[in-house]
C-alpha cells in the first residue's frame, strides 16, 4: 500500500511490469468501499498465471486516508497523482513513470468493466477483445 509520494516514485522505478495501475482510495470514501470488490477482481484477473496479461501490469493501492501525516517530502501523494476526486484509477508506464490513462469517480455503472477496458487498451488487446465480445453478443 502506497502512502507517500516517495513510495510511488520508488515503485515506478523498480516495477518489473511494463504498466502500473494505481487505485487512489481512502478509508472515509464510501464510493471507494463500493468499488473495492471490482478493483480486487480486476487485480486478480490480471495476476492469474493463465491470463495473457499476467506479468504485464502491476497493481498498487494509494491510501490517501491520512496523507497530511504521510507527506514526508513536502509533496503529498494526491498532489503527485493530481487526484481530483475519489476513487481514481491511474495507469503509468513503469519505464519513465509517465501517466498514460486515468479514470475518476464512482458514477460509472460498471467500474470493473471500465477498468478492464482501460488496461486492455494500453496492453494492445482492445481489438481482439472487441471482436470476441461481438461474437458473444
Q: What tens digit of pLDDT does each residue of 2-47 get? A: 988 889 999 999 999 999 999 999 999 999 999 999 899 888 888 7
Domain map of the chain by residue range? 5-136
- Going by C-beta distance under 8 Å and a sequence separation of 6 or more, which residues neighbour residue 3? 62, 63, 66, 67, 70, 77
Q: What tens digit of pLDDT does each residue of 81-132 get? A: 999 999 999 999 988 889 999 988 877 677 788 888 898 898 876 433 443 3
Q: Which CATH superfamily is domain 5-136 in?
A: Glutaredoxin (3.40.30.10)
- Residue 19 and residue 53: Cα distance in Å, rounded? 11
Amino acid at each position: 500500500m502506497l502512502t507517500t509520494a516517495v513510495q510511488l516514485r520508488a515503485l515506478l522505478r523498480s516495477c518489473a511490469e511494463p504498466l502500473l495501475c494505481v487505485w487512489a482510495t481512502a478509508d472515509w470514501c464510501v464510493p471507494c468501499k463500493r468499488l473495492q470488490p471490482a478493483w480486487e477482481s480486476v487485480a486478480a484477473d490480471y495476476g492469474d498465471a493463465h491470463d495473457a496479461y499476467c506479468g504485464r501490469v502491476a497493481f498498487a493501492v494509494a491510501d490517501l486516508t491520512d496523507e497530511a501525516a504521510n507527506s514526508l517530502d513536502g509533496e503529498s501523494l494526491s498532489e503527485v497523482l493530481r487526484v481530483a476526486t475519489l476513487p481514481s484509477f491511474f495507469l503509468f508506464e513503469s519505464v519513465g513513470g509517465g501517466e498514460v490513462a486515468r479514470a475518476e469517480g464512482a458514477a460509472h455503472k460498471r467500474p470493473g468493466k471500465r477498468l478492464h477496458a482501460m488496461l486492455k487498451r494500453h496492453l494492445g488487446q482492445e481489438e481482439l477483445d472487441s471482436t470476441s465480445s461481438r461474437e458473444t453478443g
